Amino acid sequence: MPGSFKTEAVVLRSIRYAEADRILHLYSADHGRLGAVAKGARRLRSRLGGRLEPMARVNLVLHKGRGELCTVTSADTVHAHPALRERRAALERGVQACEGVLRLLDSAEPNPAAYNLLCHQLGLLDSDPEAATRARALAFRAKLLLAAGFAPELASCATCGEQEHLTGFSPAAGGVACSSCEAGSFPFGADAHAFLVGSLAHPLSEAPEAPDRALAQADRALGETLEHHAHVRLPRVAA
């Protein structure tokens, strides 16, 4: 689709390029993943550059030529998330959220659930200093897996369908495991199970809390499900 088009997008990553340009990895509302060049963005007085920092949410006009990368024609800020950038914990969680989208969603198909989730997480990290918790970051990751089509099976044993005695988690089977199907599973406590169910059932701002041991099990369940089924390895969500 050569020519110019508009879309809203979040800057996931920005890489220096040539003398004064930046290459941007974007996640857009209407075209999924996009790559773009922002010409002259590293010049001192570039207005474009100031609006295209990582984690910025922007309205863009892009030009698509024959190459892989679009060219940024104009950029207007929807939300710059300035407070997020001033708090180390929020900044790290914001980078983590962008990294998850970068690794997991590489299609040019729009995914409104994933786009809205990312915008929601960045907005919460910006507005609420209490939002930069491990539990919230894991709830975001659980929802991101759901949006990407890799949510683990939590309602019944992923192997046999049993709904009671769910004591393990099997990454290969892609969900919880009952006591008869526990080969290849790791121990998965009721609190870790409840945390993931609650994370998927509630908006991000109402995501549940859980003890650290439960969060570590939930983290492992999400991470190993991705490794088995999406062949994507994400860094674990640190405390």
Q: Return residues touching Zn ion (CB under 5 A).
A: 157, 159-160, 162, 178, 181
Q: Which of 133, 134, 140 is nearest to 116 (CA)?
A: 140
Q: Which is nearer to Zn ion, 178 or 222 (CB)?
A: 178
Displacement of CA 194 from its chain's centroid (Å): 21
Q: Which is nearer to Zn ion, 6 or 165 (CB)?
A: 165
Minimum distance of Zn ion from residue 187's CB (angstroms): 15
| Residue 145, phi then psi, degrees to nearest 5 | -60, -40
Minimum distance of Zn ion from residue 130's CB (angstroms): 39
Displacement of CA 85 from its chain's centroid (Å): 18
Minimum distance of Zn ion from residue 165's CB (angstroms): 8
Cα 72 to Cα 54: distance, rounded to the nearest angstrom: 15
- As beta bridge partners, residue 27 has 10, 33
Q: Which is nearer to Zn ion, 49 or 171 (CB)?
A: 171
Q: Which is nearer to Zn ion, 110 or 189 (CB)?
A: 189
Q: Which is nearer to Zn ion, 8 or 162 (CB)?
A: 162
Q: Which of 50, 41, 9, 49 is nearest to 26 (CA)?
A: 9
Minimum distance of Zn ion from residue 166's CB (angstroms): 8
State the amino acid at position 229 in one-letter form: H
Q: Which of 55, 211, 54, 220 is nearest to 133 (CA)?
A: 211
Minimum distance of Zn ion from residue 177's CB (angstroms): 6
State the amino acid at position 122 in one-letter form: L
Minimum distance of Zn ion from residue 168's CB (angstroms): 9
Cα 78 to Cα 2: distance, rounded to the nearest angstrom: 25
Q: Which is nearer to Zn ion, 151 or 181 (CB)?
A: 181
51 is written with which tokens? 């609006």
